[in-house]
Structures are given as structure tokens and as C-alpha cells.
Amino acid sequence: MPGIRVRDGEPFEKALRRFTKSCEKAGLMSDIKKHQQYEKPSELKRRKANVARRKMRKISFMEY
């Protein structure tokens, strides 16, 4: 679980914004969304294949 230290005189809203950013960087929000509902194994495989396909497309685009 990510944590932050609130600086002296720092507004609560700014500290909360930093905390949410650190949670997003750690992948916590996507993990929570992923576990909110059951995903069939076939859907999981299809989603992972799509992610890998996008990643390969991005890598091949970067080489040009």
C-alpha cells in the first residue's frame, strides 16, 4: 500500500492528490477494478493477448 508524508503547511487536497497519483503508479486502482467482478478464463486470455498485441505494436512503431 503506497503512503505519503504530509508536508508542513500542505493543504489536504494537495496531499490527497499526491496519494492518488502514487496509488495509480503502483497499479492499485487497476487491480481493484480488475477484482470487482469475475472474469472468465477465456476473457482473461483474450484481454492479455490484446494487451500484448498493443505492446508489440507500440514497440514496432517506436523502432521506425
Domain residues of the chain, as ranges? 12-63
pLDDT value at 64 more than 70: no
Q: Give the model's pLDDT for residue 41.
A: 93
Q: Within 10 A of 2 (CB to CB), how many other CB atoms are there?
A: 14
Q: How would you class 18 by CB atoms within 10 Å of its CB: exposed for 0-12, middle for 13-18, buried for 19 or more? A: middle
Structure confidence by residue, pLDDT tens digits, 1-42: 788 899 999 999 999 999 999 988 888 888 888 888 888 999
pTM of the model: 0.50
Q: Going by C-beta distance under 8 Å and a sequence separation of 6 or more, which residues neighbour residue 48?
A: none
Cβ atoms within 10 Å of 35's Cβ, excluding its own: 9
pLDDT of residue 36: 87
